[in-house]
């Protein structure tokens, strides 16, 4: 069997702990036997981020803009505890935050469904994809605590020297304040990537916020959605029979619960943070959730939405073989390979990505499950609870058969 050739390298961002262990096996045992894998490798593991003063994270993000497609392993977000554990020079910022700041994108998270993995909401028949705006609002806010009566104002000074100001509140005693912002450019990029993603995946698009209360701030998001839809996307949506609609977030929450799924739900940064965890939990396991960051310039970064699975890693380090589910990490790789194949006109690479995903799903359908899934399914769907190694071996066996069968045809 000939190995599949690639044209442009993927940006490969290695990571930490248990997902780093899975990363190597996925790469060496599932991909490299079939693909002459070309990557530009960036080690975002915490020790190497520390050695490079976090320059490697910036380099990886810039490489993503240059090459267009990246695949990222989960990484530790450093805190004081991790600083002690790894003897870090500094508490480095969240790599995902750094990458988002460079790419300025939208994070799309979608569950991977299995027929016997019933969502907690019985009516959901199709996946719900959460599109989270990844810039600003509470995540770039400034906060102030005061301890005497007084007045707070919101003031903006333009480069022209003109100022605009508003009274936030007159307080009679101790109080707390928060100043949030977003930019029109980032909102527009978010809106466009949501419409484009909905078109690419042929799904309806919902957007919800609270513009009845937040008339200017949330109103601005709604206005840009309406404007982009009317000017650019309505024709394309109509051609595919798709719908865009806006509704208030509280109404949206109850509609989502009563829906059958099968749409993209666009949300502001905080709403998306909260709702994506709710959707992930209701669909089953964190390990069955994919995540892709799409930038306005078209570059994309694929990853799993879970973390480095620290608790499993500590057991691994103690010599055990934890039952870690590699599905979302495998799907990050297949997402990136498929995209690269599409961009470079390599149909065999696209088809390989499909076969690897199918091998993964087939393993689980055959009842070979990691612990996170075993507890969610009816006993008849679980034939064997496996550790990470056995699970990846079972996937490798099924993939080998698919590749062999395809080669003979
Ligand atoms: P986590 O790694 O997502 O794991 C939380 C728990 O969820 C695990 O202990 C495990 O539960 C379960 N789980 C998650 N992924 C699983 C998988 N693939 N297979 C089986 N079970 C899985 O979150 P965390 O423990 O809060 O964070 C660990 C580290 O990851 C932190 O340093 C954090 O900064 C980082 N993090 C990184 C990213 C990212 O890079 N995108 C995202 C989130 C967190 P049981 O232990 O009950 O089996
Ligand atoms: Mg969160």
Domain around 278: 118-140+183-283
In a domain, 351, yes or no: no
- Low-confidence residues of the chain, pLDDT below 70? none
Same domain, yes or no: 128 and 189: yes
Same domain, yes or no: 249 and 153: no
- Which residue carries 């509704």 as its tokens? 247
With a 6 Å cutoff on the Cβ, whether 196 touches ligand 1 is no
Report pLDDT for 296.
79
In a domain, 401, yes or no: no
Closest CA to 61 of 22, 127, 11: 11
CA of 153 to the centre of ligand 1 (A): 41
Same domain, yes or no: 160 and 188: no
Q: Give the model confidence (pLDDT) of 145-171 as tens digits.
A: 999 999 999 999 999 999 999 999 999
Give the tokens for residue 56: 């490697």
**What secondary structure letter does DSSP report for 140?**
G
Same domain, yes or no: 258 and 220: yes
Report pLDDT for 408.
78
Q: Strand 39-43 relative to strand 10-14: parallel, antiparallel, unpaired?
A: parallel
- Which residue carries 């019933």 as its tokens? 118
Report pLDDT for 305.
87
CB 262 within 8 A of CB 126: yes
Report pLDDT for 216.
97
CA of 247 to the centre of ligand 1 (A): 33
Report pLDDT for 226.
98
Atom of ligand 1 nearest to the CA of 94: 34
Instruction: Note the ligand closest to the C-alpha atom of 327.
Output: 1
With a 6 Å cutoff on the Cβ, whether 186 touches ligand 1 is no
Q: How far apart are CA 398 and CA 58, in angstroms?
A: 38
CA of 331 to the centre of ligand 1 (A): 16
Report pLDDT for 297.
81
Q: Which of 100, 109, 286, 313 to probe ligand 1 with, by most ligand atoms within 8 A of CB?
A: 286
As beta bridge partners, residue 69 has: 300
Q: Which residue CA neighbors atom 38 of ligand 1 most closely?
A: 307
**What secondary structure letter does DSSP report for 68?**
S
The neighbourhood of ligand 2, an ion, using CB within 5 A, equals 273
Same domain, yes or no: 158 and 249: no
CA of 172 to the centre of ligand 2 (A): 35
CA of 295 to the centre of ligand 2 (A): 20
CB 346 within 8 A of CB 127: no
With a 6 Å cutoff on the Cβ, whether 107 touches ligand 1 is no
Among residues 283, 314, 330, the one where a domain terminates is: 283
Give the tokens for residue 71: 């695949």
Q: How far apart are CA 259 and CA 389, in angstroms?
A: 38
Single pTM value for the model: 0.89
Report pLDDT for 407.
81
Q: How far apart are CA 56 and CA 319, in angstroms?
A: 30
Atom of ligand 1 nearest to the CA of 76: 32
Same domain, yes or no: 236 and 276: yes
With a 6 Å cutoff on the Cβ, whether 310 touches ligand 1 is yes
Report pLDDT for 238.
98
Report pLDDT for 101.
81
CATH code (residue 210) = 3.40.718.10
Same domain, yes or no: 226 and 172: no
Q: Looking at the 3D structure of the chain, how many domains does it have? A: 2
């Amino acid at each position: 069997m000939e190995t599949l050739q690639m044209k442009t390298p993927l940006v490969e961002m290695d990571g930490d702990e248990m997902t780093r262990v899975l990363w190597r096996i996925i790469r060496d045992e599932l991909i490299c036997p079939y693909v002459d894998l070309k990557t530009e490798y960036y080690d975002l593991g915490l020790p190497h981020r520390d050695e490079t003063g976090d320059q490697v994270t910036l380099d990886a993000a810039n490489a993503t803009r240059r090459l267009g497609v990246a695949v990222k392993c989960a990484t530790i977000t450093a805190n004081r505890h991790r600083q002690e554990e790894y003897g870090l020079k500094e508490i480095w910022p969240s790599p995902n935050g750094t990458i988002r700041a460079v790419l300025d994108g939208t994070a799309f998270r979608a569950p991977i469904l299995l027929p016997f993995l019933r969502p907690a909401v019985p009516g959901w028949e199709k996946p719900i994809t959460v599109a989270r705006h990844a810039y600003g609002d509470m995540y770039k806010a400034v906060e102030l605590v005061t301890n005497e009566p007084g007045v707070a104002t919101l003031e903006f000074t333009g480069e022209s020297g003109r100022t605009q100001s508003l009274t936030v509140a007159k307080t009679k005693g101790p109080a707390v304040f928060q100043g949030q912002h977003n930019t029109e450019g980032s909102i527009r990029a978010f809106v466009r990537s949501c419409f484009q993603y909905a078109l690419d995946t042929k799904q309806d698009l919902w957007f919800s916020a609270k513009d009845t209360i937040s008339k200017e701030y949330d109103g601005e998001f709604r206005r840009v959605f309406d404007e982009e839809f009317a000017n650019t996307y309505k024709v394309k949506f109509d051609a595919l029979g798709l719908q865009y609609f806006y509704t208030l977030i509280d109404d949206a929450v109850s509609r989502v619960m009563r829906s059958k799924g099968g749409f993209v739900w666009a949300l502001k940064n905080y709403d998306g943070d909260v709702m994506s965890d709710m959707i992930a939990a209701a669909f089953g396991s964190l390990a069955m959730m994919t995540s892709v960051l799409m930038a306005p310039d078209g570059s994309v970064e694929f990853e799993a939405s879970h973390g480095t699975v620290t608790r499993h890693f500590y057991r691994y380090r103690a010599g055990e073989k934890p039952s870690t589910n590699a599905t979302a990490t495998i799907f990050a790789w297949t997402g990136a390979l498929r995209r690269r194949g599409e961009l470079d006109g390599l149909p065999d690479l696209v088809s390989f990505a499909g076969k690897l995903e199918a091998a993964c799903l087939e393993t689980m359908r055959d009842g070979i499950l990691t612990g996170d899934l075993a507890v969610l399914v009816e006993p008849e769907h679980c034939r064997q609870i496996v550790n990470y190694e056995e699970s990846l071996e079972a996937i490798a066996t099924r993939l080998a058969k698919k590749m062999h069968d395809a080669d003979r045809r």
